[in-house]
Amino acid sequence: MNATVRDHAGRWRVAVTGMGVKTPAGCDLSTFTDTVFAGRPTAAKVTRFDVSGLASQIACEVPGFDAEAYVSGKVLRRMDRCTQFGFNAALDALADAGSPTVEPERAGIAFGSSYSGLQSAYEASTTALTSGARFVSPFLSTMIMSNAPAAYLGLELGWHGPSATLATACATGTQILNVGAQMIRNGECDLVLAGAAEANCQLLMATFSTSGALSTRNDDPSVASRPFDDGRDGYVMGEGAACLVLERYDRALARRARIYAEVAGGAHTTDSHHISAPHPEGRWTGRCMAAAIADAGLLPADIRQVNCHATSTPLGDVAEARALLAAFDGAPPPVTGSKGVFGHLLGAAGAAEAVVSVLSAGNGLVPPTAGHSRLGPDCAGIDVVTGSVLNVGTGPVLSNSFGLGGQNASIVFLPGGAGLGTADPCARRTNRGGAT
């Protein structure tokens, strides 16, 4: 069987040929890359709505977002901010891929969000209470439906292949990428737009602040998000979207596309432990990592680095640290936490971190974990990269996302152009300075 066509399990291989972002770290790929790999935090005082009275008053908001550059004002008024983020990021990703032609019946869309349309629902509820129900917009139902981003993309592109919408809390972004990859692996599609979006709003800030989940370092937001740090006290809200163009590998080669990376494997598990707290030993998150690595046809020792979920919460980070130790037999590779830079994008977090992982796989650099200064003793045993980038050599990257309700998802990326079974992606890492 031709190694350029099928993977180790006989499935169609999946290339990443385009990426688009609308995030606090940047609304274009170049700015996003610079911000993440420089480890520049983006948290600041919330400006979009009133947060007075809340214990947490900081967030990572998307700067310079110009939705009107992509869609007319009439249509824009019918889109929630979450849909705007996702729609625009997806079109950027498609352009980044070279706007490939594809049979409409062979093109799919896989998109997700945890709280799609919540701000619009909140504003409509306020209108109904203050002015009367007859003043609620007739377009509200389509503004708040979960599949709005996928539906608008379908309308824009005229595609007729499968369309999937997913909501698995903070695991959404990673899980929907696995779903999109599966559409190609099983022969349903030749190309898939896969990503996730989330927009911060007053209700989300209120509920997460009153629950004690958010950092209260309002006076020093730049170090409020502290993944795996001894002083972590909660996460920082983020928002935005990220989208990847997934394409059948041989098709991408045939059109001489730039291949950023390959989606080599993925997995999902469920804690079934607590509605909001992870399993304290990370039992099922560890198994999720191990299953994703095995699905990629790799061994734990093949993974060069891990982009962690690392929300900066006391319970979540320690559970992930323990899961890493279990999945990697007590010796995990260097890890990073991107939320130190752009906050927690909730359902979109895994998609944005996938972009970081794809870039990391190709350049062999682990971005620094912003906000991290001293490893928490409860996270002992893991190697958190901080201060500046670390060169570990190009190779497989594992990215994790874990959500409320015990939803777990992991995905493995290989650097672009690397074939499974070749020496490079499976080369053993023997020192911190780089590849063997």
For the annotated catalytic residues, the residue numbers are: 170, 309, 344
Cβ–Cβ under 8 Å, residues 243 and 195: yes
CA distance 235 to 339: 8
- CA–CA gap between residue 347 and residue 174 (Å, rounded): 9
CA angle centred on 17, ends 246 and 198, rounded to 5° = 60
Helices (H), 42-171: 73-76, 81-96, 118-130, 140-144, 148-157
Q: Rounded to 5 degrees, what angle do the CA atoms 340, 243, 143 make?
A: 100
Which residue's structure tokens are 């070749």?
A: 422
The position carrying tokens 């995990």 is: 332
Residue whose entry in the numeric block shows the structure tokens 């993309």: 153
> What letter does residue 299 receive in the DSSP assignment?
-
Element (H, E) at 21: strand 14-22
User: 67: which 2 tokens?
Assistant: 């939705």
Which residues contact residue 302 at a Cβ distance below 8 angstroms, ignoring those fewer than 6 apart?
293, 395, 396, 425, 426, 427, 428
Strands (E), 271-307: 305-307
Cα–Cα distance measured from residue 154 to residue 142, given in angstroms and rounded to the nearest whole number: 14
The helix/strand/coil state of 424 is coil
Q: H or E stretch including 360? A: helix 349-363
Rounded distance, CA 155 to CA 339, Å?
A: 33
Which residues have C-beta within 8 Å of that of residue 371, sequence separation ≥ 6?
Answer: 41, 222, 223, 224, 225, 226, 227, 229, 312, 340
Q: In what helix (H) or strand (E) does residue 261 lie, and over which residues does it extend?
A: strand 261-270
The span from the CA of 73 to the CA of 353, in Å, is 31
Q: 431: which DSSP letter?
A: B
